Structure 1
Amino acid sequence: MGRYARKKQHKGDKPLKEKYRTKRKTKDHDQIHEDMKPDKAQKLLNQEIDYDRPGAGQFYCIHCAKYCINEQALKEHFRGKPHKRRIKALQVEPYTQAEADRAAGMGSYIAPKSVDVQTQDNKMQEDIG
């Protein structure tokens, strides 16, 4: 193997591109925690009809920030692995600026608290509306 061939064995910046890709970027966990607050959740679950969104914007998963085309698709989404992974990830308290300051040496470490996150019910959606 020559010198030129040895140089070409590296991956280059492809892993960095994949890490920071934004084509399928979803909301971060702290943004979803903001959406899960009762007043904002009520607005998201009872949106006005918007024909530009799947299902006219009527079938929305707050935890995944995802629109479904109908109620059956939403129920299947709730049973799926990506939704369950997102629920598990949301059970940790979101990262805050105060925590970043403590990590930088401006205070004592406090372990993140656990947050009780339940999958939204369609009954909850009907009760609010």
Structure 2
Amino acid sequence: MTRQARKRHHRGYTHIKKKYRTKRKTKDLDEIDEDLKPRNAERLLHQKIDFDKPGSAQHYCLHCARYFIDGSAMKEHFRSKTHKRRLKALELEPYTQKEAEAAAGMGSYQPPKKRVMVTQQATQQDVNMDEDKRDQT
């Protein structure tokens, strides 16, 4: 029998492992659920212009916590598989401490309720502006 070569995968180098672990970190479902509340949603959908973010932070998907460069890119995203998966995952209410205590025997357990998730509408004004820009070029 021959010896197999060991794959190291940066074993022992915690600073490298941590970099790869957090490189593509997105918001968790409970954080997005907090963003879906009307007050927070209004604030996120109508952000001030920020040139450091894609599309100057004017095109934001609440369910996926992503910025897009224009309204048509956001509209394409709404038809994508990743967006539909995220909507499906957000249908269940997030896990709470009260639910954890009930499951451990400190109360009566009730399963989480299902919610109806609907994709936010891309404003027609954004889509029309993007089409006008394309026509001019």
Shift of 1:7: 9.0
CA distance in structure 2 between the partners assigned to 1:102 and 1:125 by the alignment: 48
Residue 115 of structure 1 is matched in structure 2 by: 115
Instruction: Give 1:34's aligned residue.
Output: 34
**In the superposition, relative to structure 1, how do residues 114 and 45 fare at CA in structure 2: closer, same or farther (>3 Å)?**
same
Percent sequence identity is 57
Aligned to 1:97: 97
Distance 1:65 1:84 in 2: 13
The CA deviation at 1:76 is: 0.5
1:1-129 matched pairs, under 5 angstroms? 1=1, 5=3, 8=6, 21-123=21-123
Unaligned 5+ residue runs, structure 1?
none
Count of aligned positions: 120
What is the CA–CA distance in structure 2 between the aligned matches of 1:100 and 1:22, rounded to whole Å? Answer: 27
Is contact 1:29–1:90 with CA below 8 Å preserved after alignment? yes
Question: Once superposed, which parts of structure 1, at least 4 consecutive aligned residues long, lie more than 3 Å away?
Answer: 6-9, 123-126
- What's the CA shift for 1:38? 0.8
> Greater shift after overlay, 48-57 or 98-107?
98-107
TM-score by length of 2: 0.76
Q: Normalization by structure 1: what TM-score? A: 0.81
Query: Where does the alignment leave 5 or more consecutive residues of structure 2 unmatched?
Result: 12-16, 127-137
C-alpha distance after superposition, 1:94-127 (max 9, x if no partner): 110111112222222211100111000124998x
Does the 8 Å CA contact 1:59/1:70 hold for their aligned counterparts? yes
What is the Cα-based RMSD across aligned positions, in Å? 2.8
